Amino acid sequence: MITIKELEKKHIVLEEKLIENNSLYEQQKDSLFKLMEQYQEIARWYLSKGFTNSLEYRREIGDVLVLAEHDQDVYYWDPEELKINKFNLRDYKNMNGVNSLIFVKKGLYNSARDTILSLDSMLNQHVESIEKENRQLKNDLGED
């Protein structure tokens, strides 16, 4: 049988691990917002030129960058604001800001980070896609 003394020792360890855990989530949140600040002007430029990473939701929420999808919620960033917003797929009219700590605690940090970092290559991807399409169109016309 475990003793109260052993339980107390384990409880102290748990409390230390929880403090570390909360600190790591705070670091993720801070890192994400630093990245959003660094890429804010780049994201604005893309959106001003009509580029978005998700045409699927453009009609409902406009030109934004979708950071993650989780359950029935879509999390997005409008670079005019340094905050994360969400809408529910069942109710597009219900859009609101998100507590960023809750966002990272849902495990969405990597998705958001990767989306923001993809802005470095988004235009190249569009160029490559159009080049491929143009080659196919020329091929279809017999203009190899």
Q: Which string of DSSP letters, residue by residue, matches 66-94?
A: EEEEETTEEEEE-TTSSSEEEEETTEEEE
Which residue ranges in the chain fall short of pLDDT 50? none
pTM for this entry: 0.81
pLDDT digits (tens, 9 = 90+) for 27-47: 999 999 999 999 999 988 988
Q: Which H or E run includes 65? A: strand 65-70
- pLDDT confidence of residue 56: 61
- pLDDT confidence of residue 58: 58
Which residue, 97, 91, 55, is CA-closest to 75? 97
- pLDDT confidence of residue 61: 58
Token output for 119? 């802005």
- pLDDT confidence of residue 74: 85
